[in-house]
Structure 1
């Protein structure tokens, strides 16, 4: 049974294909370059400002990701993780937030176990059919192009917090 969005207390995000478009650029020295969407970043901040936790669970380790997380104030960062479902259990225990109240957003086959375990599963418009088939919600937008922002807005609206989040920009 899917948990209603209004009951979500923690949003966990994959990175490549969710927060980015899935492209990984390497410099001649081997440094990774990732491109993140500013709208996704604002959505994450709006969730956090509303008291909803946000974290990262990704298989890849990246300095660029660490910089982005620092910029957003994200402290729940689990990188180098292959077993994302196991990580979800560990995060649930550490945060005292039950798995039913955790949403997971992934985009590829490696994310399926965590998506299946989470209380609510999101994916992006350009995810494979197998991933879309397991998702409770598929964004209209592809990864790295505002899909995370769409998810953040959906959670805030379900909780009745969207107008409050927007009002601070209007006053």
Structure 2
């Protein structure tokens, strides 16, 4: 008997654009400040490789975050993320602008967030994901919850889930193996 895919898998199979929050998703949510008031963040290299895999299969990636940070801009540039929205108060407005710019429908867009400021934009997207340590209200409302915590490979898990849902994971892995 063939098992029917989960609703989250079906939704992930349609994704053409995946957007992410930063603090608590790409990072563990900790904010480190120097004596001069500069902010430091730590990113997981597994997450970055997952984003590159999405880009390779034609899924566009974006960051929509409430904070403004040169560190985030540098990381986005390093990863080739061209859609960067920082200092955003209403993430839904940024998403609508991004959808209009790319011609992608909300049903084909996903968002990964971890806290209440992400709920409205997540509910607008066809696919919503959260790290394991997201706020409980967020976890109750998403289609995919990573086993990993934010900053510890949660982004990579959602990237891999999209690759699997779109039937592209095995080919990506074979390419990595040199096959």
Q: Which category describes the TM-score, using the shorter chain as reference length?
A: over 0.9
CA deviations over 1:74-120 (Å, ceiling 9, x no partner):
11000000101111111111110001100010000000000111111
- TM-superposed CA distance for 1:70, in Å, is 1.1
Counterpart for residue 32 of structure 1? 39
- TM-superposed CA distance for 1:25, in Å, is 0.6
How many residues were matched structurally?
171
Instruction: Specify which of 119, 130, 137 is matched with residue 137 of structure 2.
Output: 130
Instruction: Specify which of 72, 75, 79 is matched with residue 72 of structure 1.
Output: 79
Q: Distance in 1 between matches of 2:89 and 2:111?
A: 15
Q: Distance in 1 between matches of 2:94 and 2:71?
A: 21
Counterpart for residue 17 of structure 1? 24
Equivalent residue runs for 1:22-61 within 5 Å: 22-61=29-68
C-alpha root-mean-square deviation of aligned residues, in Å? 1.2
Is 1:142 aligned with 2:146?
Answer: no
Instruction: Specify which of 161, 164, 167 is matched with residue 174 of structure 2.
Output: 167
- TM-superposed CA distance for 1:141, in Å, is 0.8
Q: Distance in 2 between matches of 1:99 and 1:28?
A: 42
Counterpart for residue 95 of structure 2? 88
Q: Distance in 1 between matches of 2:56 and 2:104?
A: 18
User: Stretches of 4+ moved more than 6 A in 1?
Assistant: none
**Preserved contact between residue 21 and residue 145 of structure 1 (Cα < 8 Å):** yes
Counterpart for residue 3 of structure 2? none
Q: Distance in 1 between matches of 2:119 and 2:161?
A: 21
Q: Distance in 1 between matches of 2:98 and 2:112?
A: 15
- Unaligned stretches of 5+ in structure 1? none
**TM-score in terms of structure 1 length:** 0.97
Q: Distance in 2 between matches of 1:35 and 1:85?
A: 26
